[in-house]
């Protein structure tokens, strides 16, 4: 099992540029989550998907942020245009979930985004 | 809806015990505990589903009080390897959605 795979590991970009973060969840997992981690806010849930469908995007800070999950094995988080306050570590995580069981989140290694 | 963790930070000597608390303003379906080392991703420790249920992981255990909407993580005879930031994640209903507290930073010194 390869685990949750995120790319890139590090991204440095200039303000105003478009940034795309990528995630491959664990095969067979029903749910995919995007979290943002900063010292001030901790681990914030941005959006999550169930069976490729966005369920709750109330954590997405602004219209500059968008996320897609075109299939069960791939998701993207896009920021356009990026701003310095978007600098953070972005984690993707996946899990299986059902009515009769409760399973843990598996996190990717994260993407450290720096916007200058 | 974010759970509240306390304390925010703890410093211990090896062998000492610690308790980290997590409380929610809403009724909980489940509580998860994760540990994150500096520069790494959070790693799963345990899930609690039933009221009053305690689970263990090495010398780390946890309880879940449904009525009080609280969970506590107990670290006994702490080791240097226990250092890190501990997060509780709460699930209000069985939707799959997990929201995390601010984290508690634990430092264990020799």
pLDDT tens digits, B61-102: 998 888 888 999 999 999 999 999 999 999 887 778 899 999
Whether the CB of A55 is below 8 Å from some CB of chain B: the reply is yes
- Predicted local distance difference test score (pLDDT) of residue B84: 97
Whether the CB of A38 is below 8 Å from some CB of chain B: the reply is no
Does residue A14 carry a pLDDT above 80?
yes
pLDDT tens digits, A34-90: 999 998 889 999 999 999 999 999 999 889 999 999 999 999 999 999 999 999 999
Whether the CB of A105 is below 8 Å from some CB of chain B: the reply is yes
Whether the CB of A68 is below 8 Å from some CB of chain B: the reply is no
Does residue B25 carry a pLDDT above 60?
yes
Q: Is-contact B20 B107, C-beta < 8 A?
A: no
User: What Å distances lie between residue A53 and A42, A57, A74, B23, CA to CA?
Assistant: 26, 11, 12, 30
Among the partner-chain residues B47, B97, B103, the one whose CB lies closest to the CB of A104 is: B47
Q: HEC profile for B33-67?
A: EEEECCCCCCEEEEEECCCCCEEEECCEEEEEECC
Please indicate whether, in this complex, the C-beta atoms of B47 and A30 are within 8 angstroms of each other: no
Does residue B50 carry a pLDDT above 70?
no
Q: What is the mean pLDDT of chain B?
A: 90
């Amino acid at each position: 099992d390869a685990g949750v795979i995120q790319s890139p590991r590090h991204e440095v970009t200039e303000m105003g540029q478009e940034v795309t973060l990528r995630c491959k969840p664990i095969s067979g997992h029903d749910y995919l989550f995007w979290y943002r981690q900063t010292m001030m806010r901790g681990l914030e849930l941005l959006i999550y998907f169930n069976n490729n469908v966005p369920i709750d995007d109330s954590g997405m800070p602004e219209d500059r942020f968008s996320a897609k999950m075109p299939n069960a094995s791939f998701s993207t988080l896009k920021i356009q245009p990026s701003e310095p306050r978007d600098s953070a570590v972005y984690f993707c995580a996946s899990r299986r979930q059902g009515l009769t069981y409760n399973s843990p989140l598996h996190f990717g290694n994260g993407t450290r985004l720096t916007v200058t | 809806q974010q759970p509240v963790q306390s304390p925010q930070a703890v410093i211990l000597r090896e062998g000492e015990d610690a308790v980290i608390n997590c409380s929610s303003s809403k009724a909980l379906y489940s509580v998860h505990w994760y540990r994150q080392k500096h520069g790494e991703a959070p790693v799963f420790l345990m899930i609690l589903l039933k009221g009053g249920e305690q689970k263990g992981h090495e010398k780390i255990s946890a309880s879940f009080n449904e009525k009080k909407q609280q969970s506590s993580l107990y670290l006994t005879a702490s080791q240097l390897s226990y250092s890190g930031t501990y997060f509780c994640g709460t699930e209000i209903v069985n939707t799959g959605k997990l929201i995390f507290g601010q984290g508690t930073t634990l430092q264990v010194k020799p």
